[in-house]
Amino acid sequence: MQAAAAPSAVDVAEVVLKHYEDELPRTGKPQPHETTVLAAFVLSTAKTVEEDAAACLSGSKRSKIGDAIHDSHAEVVARRALVRWMLAHARLALLGVESAVVVGGCIFVDTSEGGGERRLRLREGLGLHFFASEMPCGDACVSASSGRRTGAKEVTTTEAPPEASEVESGEQATHRARRKPGRGEATLSMSCSDKIAKWLILGVQGCLLSRWVDAVPIRTLTILLAESSGCRETLRGAQESAQRAFWGRTRGFDRGSSPPRACTPPAIRVISHRDAAGGIAEKLGLIIGAGSSSPSRASKSGVSINWSALHYFEANRTFGPIHEVTLSASGRKAGASKRLRTGEIFNSKVVSTISRYHTLRSFLDLLEEEHGSALGSMAYDDLKAGLGTDYYETWKRMKEDKGSIFSFWIAKRDG
């Protein structure tokens, strides 16, 4: 069956912005003096774009047990919420259960034959689309012609921890792997440009879900540009930078000697914020700088909202939408005491459902229900190596391809 035509960039932007404005509670949204970033994944059917995925805001101290969100950039939080959403749909498909809150049915179809391993794929006619209210950090922000720069720091080695004092002077180079700078102490988190490039090759489902789910591609990426002029030349230059960063830097992986791409090339669109939903992005606190008429919005919001249309609540075995607010500084839910926020005392009630801790618990719970028996304790990385074999091995080979951006990926071993 031929894929349905992708929704326009304006359509995607308007669905996300209006849903954020009208449907999400006020809690966690930026104050009048603050600005933030909105990122989302939305699902399209053959006829419509639906608000049925994950919409998140962004605003580092790593946790060994995964109870803190280490990277609160909007793009990463959105993708974590997307995985949470897909886990709920995988449960529906694998266990054959139904839920009244699921509009349009389960997104996955079972392609298993006989008594072999269960395999799921995205239902025919559905498409996944990514949106961000500003250019993702890293290589996509670098442009010599326009003088655009990124705060993300170039990674030149994975042998030693990055230094917080690293400063790039002069013109920034393109086609480079970069890490997020953090506030004070250096982070181990790769830039959003690098992470998006990875998702476009391997799919957004991640290693654990690949146990059952075939690669889920992103069909389109829509980026808002906060430029006062919104001129075609500026938009075209930004789109070329995004195309290079997300897809162009990884063209070598088309070769037979390298891991094959799991997904087809996406459509990458950059539009002026003034063309989306009547320019409401500025009113919502999503635009600052050259495109803003509100210079008072000088502070970045310190909280992060994550929302998705479907979540499986293990405590009472029900499905429903979910809305959470976390603190970017601690990676844990807002409203907790200082000792709980810092992790000095562990309490699962302050741990976000998009954290590695909860994602692992949800995955293991589904795996045990599928097999009808409890599983032994396994470390997170060992579990990925043992159960997400194809994804894990492909990602391993990508990092071993010397000279590629993925060979500079900062290694992290947690639990």
> What pTM was estimated for this model as a whole?
0.87
Residue 334 lies in a domain: yes
d(C-alpha 104, C-alpha 52), whole Å: 10
Residue with tokens 């694998």: 94
Q: What is the pLDDT at residue 278?
A: 73
Give CA 411 to chain center in angstroms: 19
Average pLDDT score, the chain: 79
Q: What is the pLDDT at residue 56?
A: 40
Residue 2 lies in a domain: no
Please say whether the beta carbons of 55 and 130 come within 8 A: no
Here the tokens at position 324 are 């959470």
**Residue 300, Cβ neighbours under 10 Å: how many?**
14
Please say whether the beta carbons of 304 and 28 come within 8 A: yes
Residue 413 lies in a domain: no
Q: What is the pLDDT at residue 336?
A: 61
Quick: pLDDT tens for 179-232. 887 665 667 889 999 999 999 999 999 999 999 999 999 999 999 987 655 588
Q: What is the pLDDT at residue 296?
A: 52
**Residue 80, Cβ neighbours under 10 Å: how many?**
25
Strands (E) in 91-132, as ranges, are: 108-110, 120-122, 127-132
Residue 1 lies in a domain: no
Give CA 115 to chain center in angstroms: 34
Of the candidates 103, 2, 54, the one whose C-alpha atom is nearest the C-alpha of residue 204 is 54
Residue 308 lies in a domain: yes
Sequential pLDDT tens for the chain (415 residues): 445 678 999 999 999 999 999 988 888 888 888 888 899 999 988 655 544 444 443 323 444 444 555 677 889 989 999 999 999 999 999 988 877 777 678 999 999 876 678 899 999 989 999 999 999 999 999 987 777 888 888 988 766 555 555 556 678 899 999 988 766 566 788 999 999 999 999 999 999 999 999 999 999 999 998 765 558 888 899 999 999 999 999 876 654 445 556 667 899 999 988 888 777 888 888 876 544 455 555 678 778 888 988 888 887 788 888 888 887 766 677 766 555 555 555 566 778 888 888 888 889 889 888 877 666 667 777 788 887 778 998 899 899 888 889 999 987 755 4
Residue 265 lies in a domain: yes
Of the candidates 108, 130, 102, 121, the one whose C-alpha atom is nearest the C-alpha of residue 7 is 130
Please say whether the beta carbons of 306 and 320 come within 8 A: no
In the chain, the percentage of residues whose pLDDT exceeds 90 is 31
Q: What is the pLDDT at residue 316?
A: 76
Q: Which domain holds residue 257?
A: 9-408
d(C-alpha 400, C-alpha 206), whole Å: 19
Residue 322 lies in a domain: yes
Q: 223: which strand partners?
A: 132, 270
Q: What is the pLDDT at residue 210?
A: 93
Residue 3 lies in a domain: no
Tally the domains of the chain: 1
